[in-house]
Amino acid sequence: MSISIIRDTCDDVINSNPSAFDNYQLRLCNCTLENTTNQSTEKLPVAFRMIPTNNYAVSWAWASLMLHLCITGFFALMWIHHVTPAVTPPYNKAVLAIFLCLLGLIIIDCCGMSKYIVRDNAHPTASASLCFNMFLLFLGAYLAMGAYQERDPNAFASQQFN
């Protein structure tokens, strides 16, 4: 024998509140009882568990925002304390581009935190964030190459402008 609930036919049972611990709620539903010989419909009590859903896109945007704020602070400290290559002429333009890219990412993260923007489809916000993050990765690789080259005082870029 199998029992299946007919959709949207459930009525709340009076004085059946969800418990504080388990979020179960009792409802009376029209159910289809299928036996090997016959099929019938009866109203049966059914216990529903109300599970709250977390919006993964909003949670991801919050985590991404915190990560981008930390990266922005890291590059700002590099800039303030004149860490090579952040202030060396060919690479300081990459640091400026990183700041602009991080500003764009922070704006995208703020848009992604709005549950009304990502309610129907979070893919545009996620793909915009992915594009900006890939550009940020390439700029970071360029800056890492500059840090590798600038470790030697007789390096390439710093000799060109002195």
| pLDDT single digits (tens) 54-98 | 677 788 888 999 999 999 999 889 888 888 777 878 888 888 999
Q: How far apart are CA 107 and CA 115, in angstroms?
A: 15
Closest CA to 97 of 140, 149, 66: 140
In a domain, 73, yes or no: yes
Same-domain check for residues 99 and 143 = yes
Question: Phi first, then psi: what are they for 25, rounded to 5°?
Answer: -135, 135
Nearby residues of 52 by Cβ (< 8 Å), 6 or more positions away:
none
Alpha-carbon dihedral of residues 74, 75, 77, 83, nearest 10 degrees? 120
Tokens standing for residue 32 = 């289809």
In a domain, 161, yes or no: no
Number of domains in the chain: 2
Tokens standing for residue 55 = 């919006």
Q: How many residues are there in the chain?
A: 162
Q: How far apart are CA 71 and CA 136, in angstroms?
A: 10
Predicted local distance difference test score (pLDDT) of residue 45: 76
Same-domain check for residues 105 and 148 = yes
Q: How far apart are CA 150 and CA 40, in angstroms?
A: 81
Helices 56-80 and 89-112, packing angle to 10 deg: 160
Same-domain check for residues 32 and 89 = no
Q: Looking up tokens 């550009």, which residue turns up?
A: 135
Same-domain check for residues 24 and 86 = no
Same-domain check for residues 40 and 64 = no
Same-domain check for residues 43 and 109 = no
Global model pTM greater than 0.75: no
Same-domain check for residues 41 and 66 = no
Predicted local distance difference test score (pLDDT) of residue 123: 83
- Domain ranges, residue 92: 56-152
Task: Give the confidence band of 107 by pLDDT, cuts at 50, 70, 90.
Answer: very high
In a domain, 157, yes or no: no
In a domain, 82, yes or no: yes
